[in-house]
Each structure stands twice: as structure tokens, then as C-alpha cells.
Amino acid sequence: MLLIPCPWCGPRDEAEFHYGGQAHVAYPEDPAALSDEEWARYLFFRDNPKGLFAERWSHTAGCRRWFNAVRDTATNEIHAVYRTGEPRPVIA
């Protein structure tokens, strides 16, 4: 079982959350100006590192808020959580 610490509700079981993908992906300024290839890159191409990765999560069975988490994809350990709009914490 993975415990995910919601910034508002505290640690909760992973079953209460919905994964939202990679964090800090900027929406294109003018999507209509993108080629099909550029639009496909925006929609489907994401980083897939082994190690620390910033992700978006939604506490769907709790406060229903979105937040970001830095998780180690190799161990599933969550190193930090922070609210949407806050900068990613520096982790040594």
C-alpha cells in the first residue's frame, strides 16, 4: 500500500487518489498554430525517468484538490508534495 500525503488532508491510501501525469507541462500559447506533429508531442510525449519525477495527483476521494508530488519511480517513495502553483522543491 502506498500512502500519499495530501497537502490539505494528510497521508491517505493511494486508492483515494487519481494520477494526473507529469507535472509542470506548459500548455501551448497558441495550440491552433501547432502542426499535427507538435500537437501530438504535447499530448502524448512525456518524460519517463527512473528516479525522481514530478507528478500531478488529485485527491478524488477526499478534498478533490490537485497537487504535485515528487516520487521516485524506482522505489515509489514520495519525497515531497506541494500545492499546484508552488515551485518544485529542491531535493538533494
Mind listing the pLDDT tens digit for each residue in 39-49? 999 999 999 99
Asked if residue 11 has pLDDT above 90, the reply is yes
Predicted TM-score (pTM) of the model is: 0.88
Strands 52-58 and 18-22 turn out to be antiparallel
E strand or H helix at 36: helix 36-44
* Cβ 71 vs Cβ 77: under 8 Å: yes
* Cβ 82 vs Cβ 63: under 8 Å: no
**Strands of the chain, DSSP E:** 3-6, 10-13, 18-22, 52-58, 66-72, 78-83
Q: For residue 28, which amino acid is it? A: P
φ, ψ of residue 18 to 5 degrees: the values are: -125, 130
Asked if residue 24 has pLDDT above 90, the reply is yes
Asked if residue 51 has pLDDT above 80, the reply is yes
Query: What's the chain's average pLDDT?
Result: 96
Residue 86: its pLDDT value, please? 94
CATH class name, domain 3-28+45-83: alpha beta
